[in-house]
Chain A
Amino acid sequence: MTTVSFDRRPEDYRHWRLRIEPPLAWLEMDVDEQGGLVPGYELKLNSYDLGVDIELYDAVQRLRFEHPEVRAVILTSAKDKVFCAGANIRMLAGSPHEWKVNFCKFTNETRNGIEDATENSGQIYLAAVNGSCAGGGYEIALACEKILLVDDNSSTVALPEVPLLGVLPGTGGLTRVTDKRRVRKDRADVFATRPDGVKGRTAVDWRLVDELVPRQEFRAVVEQRARELAARSNRPENAQGIVLEPLDRTEDDDRIAYPNTTAELDRAAGVVTITVRGPQADGWLLALTRELDDLILRLRTNEPELGTWVFRTEGDPDAVLAAEREVLTGSDWLSNEVLHYYKRTLKRLDVTSRSLIALIEPGSCFAGVLLELALACDRQYMLDGPPIDDEDSDERASIVLSDANFGAFPMGNGLSRLESRFYGEHDHLDWLKRERDRRLSASEAVELGLVTEAPDDIDWEDEIRIVLEGRAALSPDALTGMEANHRFVGPETIETKIFGRLTAWQNWIFTRPNASGPEGALRRYGTGQKASFDRKRV
């Protein structure tokens, strides 16, 4: 299996061209057919694989941090007659199951990031669909605020996954069509079962696109619409961007280390222990967020068998709270970006199909923003006693609630992690609010319902060992389903639908013989032979 790196720099993009023309940016897709991440397929017709999407993700990130002067982003294709053919089918057909689902997850996160930039950074995306646009290609367009389609009487938008491949359009595709663009469900049904898609007037009438533009006027109208969107933006004037320098990362077989984060990989146990350090320098939260983001992606992609992630922290809780206050109360654009980036990284964790366990020990700093990490975990264990290796010490574990835990970092369901944890319990949440900004001991944390268990120093090691071993013995599939279910209580949003359905529907469909069996649609695609379906409806 290829080890995937998520490090990219615009100078080295193989598949995208990023051009900054303030207040606009042009993000042009120009996929190099020979540039697949893994051998065995050609990326024809601007189809993409994980490598193409990693560059897109990088570009979206850099636009937010490095280019405050950009208020609208035009996402289009540099190729003639084709916008994007979507995910590369041969890549999908040749990929192992977890790769397919991980890939879908990452692409959906990137699409969500585009929507987040539009909504929270005043960097509004416009899709300039200048040719045929299918599957994941249309999903990219769907992530944009507006979709302009070239009116050449032949370009279409399509979600052909159901009729051609026997799978679902990412699930972001189906969901955005009905929930975001509010396409009537009967039309959505017709649309998603037509391999050839919909063009022209009908695409506008059905709300699949916003506007048709004649070919000759396309560029001019696109630019004009982008300028109109830019005029709506609240992006600051004359702000200076910051450069996202390459990450300082060292790696060997059982360790990935960054200045603020270290991951120890225990392959025998199937466990990764992730230790996050509190602030040591300025700009800590952004640096930490970038490291965590990178680490989550790497572990998710490259280490599918390490099924349990244990989160620890080290450092001074007060320093965490001070660093957090700087960003939370800062009203500048950069603070805003850092907050939203941390939010997205926590969300990435929320939708990660790994068992997440927080260990809160003496010397840890689970305060405010870092307490969110613990709250994102499926379980929290807090040591009620001295450090294990120093029983004479007076040091005890504590956690601190702060403003950061009451709405600054909403989950995909629109609720804070505390609201999710205590769904519908308003009195309890009010009580927690009153306990803000002070260190809570293990027994208080138990009383407040903020941790799962608080073993003492005699039981701790055994207790944690049994929890981790027990976890590793369970079916990873069942765990994936259970965790995804527990993590998102309450209301459905577009995001919870997308990821819930990715976890359930797509996971199921991808493994069914009708999709990925030897005679399934995904495997037969491109062979000239037709899929043979098991006709029983399940």
Chain B
Amino acid sequence: MPTRIDYDAKIPNNVELSDNRRLQRALEGWQPKFMHWWAEMGPALETQGVYLRTAVSVGRDGWAHFDHVVPQDYRWGIFLAERDPDRRIAFGEHRGEPAWQQVPGEYRADLQRLIVIQGDTEPASVEQQKLLGLTAPSLYDLRNLFQVNVEEGRHLWAMVYLLHAYFGKEGREEAEALLHRNSGSPDTPRILGAFNEETADWLAFYMFTYFTDRDGKYQLGTLKESAFDPLSRTCEFMLKEEAHHMFVGTTGVDRVVTRSAELIREHDTMDIAAHGGIPLDIIQRYLNFHYTVSLDLFGSETSTNAANYYTAGLKGRWMETRRKDDHQLTEDAALLEKPQDDGTWTAEEMQKILLLNLDLRGEYIADCSSGVKRWNKILADAGIDFRFRLPHPGFNRKVGINSGHHITPDGTIVDEATWERSRKHWLPTDEDLAFVRSLMHPVYERGKIASWVAPPRQGINGKPFDYEYVYL
């Protein structure tokens, strides 16, 4: 039987919070600060109710309960996936030992750091998306934005729960600091670069939810493997919610491309800007930008931190248990492609354990390309020759071995001047951004949608597109 979530408690949970007075007091102390943060940094648009999905239990069926909720009345809480009492550690030097139910003192600092960094990204995207509600292309999209936002808020709760429950006073201080750093703040920015970029328009939002939230999926996937069971179970449940964010991204870009294809056909020109659509080359430039910024989130190709985390059992690989190797990786080698100053690429053989970030990034890139295929199919079906492409992983990078080099989207190493000259063809220009922004007019009427995006093929939870998803 799936554990029910106790919605009668002040903080909905399935961790028997009422039995743990210390933790309850800590979280009840944090809650008003969170609400204050939400009011200050959360969605700028006020609503009377949004048709939101709320988890009622963490089992197979229980996590998708729909109803209209006023966002600030949303009952954020703490939901962990079911515990497997026999779970064993799948990798590293503790492989085969029972999963930890408590934080081992030896790994306390590392685990705390991992959780803080993950936690820091969750509220960041809410902050980045703060103004988007004011320019939503439809009520359907507006509803999705809120869904993403409340769930990112809950993911913050999930990390804060771990900090409060397992890391004592320091954990509580870190939990508070999560609310004090703010995306793009000149004084106290978010820890990772991508979460300080702004999400200024809805195309950026779709790209963000496609590419950047997908990074989140892979990071959560590695943490789900953690020997620290509460972290593992927390991430497992977060992954379910994360899937919807990526759905918003996938179908969002999908609908923009569909609409652009329609306009191209209708007016028989690629230059559809004048007709209120987004030209395909601008979409490609957005893709290039969001993809590469997201690649930076995987960190350096070679990472001793990642290796240490792996050996210690703190953070595994994507689908660790399905991998067919020794799960220690100290003996295995892998190749790392490196750009050289003379403009060539060389491959260096390295211990696999030092290339874990590269391993994860490889999984991610493969996943990203499926979306590109899907969008290209729309173009192919419409008889349009243009094709989207993922740029080379060395393109436009600020982190890792490529960061000091100028690499084109097709992987050619060029000098700075050449790169700068072509930059406008590869990355969104100020004119691109201004143009896309010029299309961003809110459409709040039931069943209506903005000019630059197609309506979804299906509504939410079987409701039609013209359902009143949001009460304004």
- Contact across chains for A152 and B310 when beta carbons are under 8 A apart: no
Q: Is the CB of A153 within 8 A of B112?
A: no
Residue of A nearest to B117 (CB): A154
Interface members, chain B 156-193 (any A CB < 8 Å): 173, 177, 180-181, 186-189, 191
A529 sits at the interface (CB 8 A): yes
- Given A151-B188, A528-B351, also A196-B310 (CB < 8 A): no
Rounded to whole Å, the gap between the CB of A531 and the closest CB of chain B is 11
Query: Once the chains bind, are A153 and B181 in contact (CB under 8 Å)?
Result: yes
A527 and B180 in contact (CB under 8 A), knowing A151-B187, A196-B113, A216-B186? no
Taking a contact as CB atoms under 8 Å apart, the answer to whether A215 and B304 are in contact is no
Residue of B nearest to A215 (CB): B187
Task: Tell me the complex Cα distance, A216–B306, Å.
Answer: 32
Interface residue B139 (Cβ < 8 Å from any Cβ of A): no
In the complex, the answer to whether B109 meets A530 with C-beta atoms within 8 Å is no
Inter-subunit contact A528/B109 (CB<8 Å) = no
Contact with A along B135-165 (1 / 0, CB 8 A): 0000000000000000000000000000000
Q: Does B354 contact A (CB under 8 A)?
A: yes
Taking A163-B109, A194-B109 as contacts, is the C-beta distance between A528 and B307 under 8 angstroms?
yes
Residues A195 and B110 in contact, CB atoms below 8 Å apart: yes
CB distance from A234 to the nearest CB of B (A): 36
* Contact assessment for A215 and B188 in the assembled complex, using a CB-CB cutoff below 8 Å: yes
The answer on a CB contact under 8 Å between A152 and B187 is yes
In the complex formed, the residue of B with least CB distance to A530 is B311
> A215 and B354 in contact (CB under 8 A), knowing A195-B110, A528-B311?
no
How many angstroms between the C-alpha atoms of A202 and B173 in the bound complex?
Answer: 10
B308 at the interface (CB under 8 A from A): yes
Residues of A within 8 A of B180 (CB): 153
B436 within 8 A of A: no
Closest to A526 in B: B304
Q: Is A304 in the interface zone, CB < 8 Å from B?
A: no
Query: Given A152-B189, A196-B113, are A530 and B312 neighbors across the interface (CB < 8 Å)?
Result: yes
A214, A528, A530 pick with most chain B CB within 10 angstroms = A528
A526-B304, A530-B311 in contact; A195/B109 too (CB < 8 A)?
yes
> How far is B304's CA from A529's CA once the two chains are assembled, in angstroms?
9
B89 sits at the interface (CB 8 A)? no
Cβ proximity bits B352-369 to A, threshold 8 Å, 1 near / 0 not: 011000000000000000
Pair count A-B, CB < 8 A: 58
Nearest CB of A to B313, in Å? 10
By the criterion CB–CB under 8 Å, are A527 and B186 in contact?
A: no
> Which residue in chain B gives the minimum CB-CB distance to A150?
B187
User: Known: A195-B110, A528-B353. Is A214-B311 also a contact (CB below 8 A)?
Assistant: no
Q: How large is the interface on A (under 10, 10 to 19, 20 to 34, 35 or more residues)?
A: 10 to 19
Question: Which residues of chain B have C-beta atoms less than 8 A from A195's C-beta?
Answer: 109-110
Interface centre among A154, A163, A214, A216 (most CB of B within 10 A): A154
Q: Flag whether A525 is at the interface (Cβ < 8 A).
A: yes
Q: Which B19-77 residues sit within 8 Å CB-CB of chain A?
A: none
A 508-538 contacts with B by CB, 8 A: 525-530
Task: With both chains docked as a complex, state the minimum distance between the C-beta of B366 and any C-beta of chain A, in angstroms.
Answer: 24
Q: With both chains docked as a complex, state the minimum distance between the C-beta of A80 and any C-beta of chain B, in angstroms.
A: 10
A154 — which chain B residues lie within 8 A by C-beta? 177, 181, 188, 191
- Number of chain B interface residues as a range: 20 to 34
Beta-carbon contact of A528 and B354 below 8 Å: yes
What separation, in Å, do the CA atoms of A99 and B187 have in the docked complex? Answer: 41
- CB of B304 within 8 A of CB of A527, answer yes
Q: What are the residues of chain A within 8 A of B353 when measuring CB–CB? A: 527-529
- A528 touching B186 in the complex, CB below 8 Å, given contacts A194-B109, A196-B109: no
Q: Cβ of B177: which chain A residues have Cβ within 8 Å of it?
A: 153-154
A468-517 residues at the B interface, CB under 8 angstroms = none
A526 to B173, CA, bound (A): 29
- Which residues of chain A come closer than 8 Å to B330, judged between CB atoms? 527-529
Most A-side CB within 10 Å, residue of B181, B189, B304: B304
CA gap between A195 and B354 in the complex, in Å: 20
Contacts of B354 in A (CB 8 A): 527-528
Taken together as a complex, chains A and B put the C-alpha atoms of A530 and B310 apart, in Å, by: 10
Which of these, A152, A194, A525, contacts B188 with CB under 8 Å?
Answer: A152
Q: Mark A203-234, 1 if CB is under 8 A from B, else 0.
A: 00000000000111000000000000000000
Residues of B within 8 A of A196 (CB): 109, 112-113
Task: Tell me if B304 and A525 are in contact (CB < 8 A).
Answer: yes
Residues of B contacting A216 in the complex (Cβ-Cβ under 8 angstroms): 186-187
Q: How far is the CA of A153 from the CA of B187 in the complex (A)?
A: 9
CA distance A214 to B186 in the complex (A): 9
Per the 8 Å Cβ criterion, residues 279-309 of B in contact with A are 304, 306-308
CA distance A259 to B310 in the complex (A): 59
Whether a CB of chain A sits under 8 angstroms from the CB of B16 is: no
CB distance from A79 to the nearest CB of B (A): 13
A460 to B393, CA, bound (A): 75
A194 and B112 CA atoms in complex are apart in Å by 12
Known: A151-B188, A153-B177, A194-B109. A528 touches B310 (CB 8 A): yes
Write the chain B residue with the least CB distance to A152: B188
Q: Is B410 an interface residue (CB 8 A)?
A: no
How far, in angstroms, from A194 to B108 measured CA to CA in the complex? 10
3 smallest beta-carbon distances between A and B, as pairs: A528-B307, A528-B353, A153-B188
Q: A528-B307, A529-B330 are in contact. List 10 more A-B contacts (CB 8 A).
A: A151-B187, A152-B188, A153-B177, A195-B109, A196-B109, A202-B173, A215-B188, A216-B186, A527-B330, A528-B329
Task: Give me 9 A-to-B residue pairs in the complex whose CB atoms sit less than 8 angstroms apart, sorted by A's number.
Answer: A153-B177, A163-B109, A196-B109, A214-B187, A215-B186, A527-B304, A527-B353, A528-B308, A530-B311
